[in-house]
Amino acid sequence: MEEQRQKELEGLCHQLGMVMEDLHLLDMALTHTSYAYESKRNPRPQHNQRLEFLGDSVLSLVVSTHIYRHYPQMDEGELSKLRAFLVCEETLAQLATEIHLGDHLLLGKGEINLDGEENPSILADAFESVLGAYYLDQGFAKVTELLDRLLIRRIPELTADGIDRDYKTRLQEVAQKDGPVEILYEQVSADGPSHNRTFVMRVLVNQEERGRGRGRTKKEAEQRAAREALRGK
């Protein structure tokens, strides 16, 4: 590993309050498939998909254990909905953005051109991959401590507006509480190959732009635009 990359990863560990013996695991966690496939090195660098698989399981267990213990009034269905909200792509991408994880990602040229470091799917996957790497390096107790700082303590804040992801309906209800308004969604851009498109949509309330959102489908991007509009109110 190059000295500059090692220092970068050490800085990320310091920022997150982590100590890792094997920084190559963290480097792998932040290596997207596009970078690995485009690399001219032989052998190619390992990408983060296997670590993502592991991190997803660790995340689910930590969150499930916490909400089981701290929300005794919830039945199985309610616990499942809460867990789904906490471990979904949108929540994880938000957490990854807040810790600037995208700044440390290794991406292929195509993903860089598509602003892959801001892509919610890539960010969420990288977050899970880092959890997988940290679990392998330091064990379950340490990754639980990390998730407590990054996610668990923030559950009241993250769920303050409810766990319903239908932001478009909520925006309509909020915007129309004082009377009829016109809400329109418009496509701003669509990038990438047909099998992996990234859409940017904007929402206008009475012809005034209130928010923009990015997603793998137009509907997903519209929901994120509505969420941004709600946060600006």
9 CB-near residues (< 8 Å, 6+ apart)? 23, 26, 27, 30, 104
Active site residue 75: no
Catalytic residue check, 56: yes
**Euclidean distance between CA atoms 85 and 90, whole angstroms:** 8
Q: Which of 27, 52, 128, 222 is catalytic?
A: 128
Among the options 56, 89, 137, 220, which is catalytic?
A: 56
Tally of helices (H runs) and strands (E runs) in the chain: 12, 3
Angle at Cα 120 formed by Cα 119 and Cα 122, nearest 5°? 65
| H helix or E strand, kind and range, residue 187 | strand 183-191
Residue positions counted in the chain: 233
| Residue 117 to residue 105: CA distance in whole angstroms | 7
DSSP 45-58: PP-SHHHHHHHHHH
173 CB burial (10 A radius; 0-12, 13-18, 19+):
exposed
Please report the sign of the dihedral spanned by the C-alpha atoms of residue 12, residue 14, residue 20, residue 22: positive
Catalytic positions, written as ranges:
56, 128
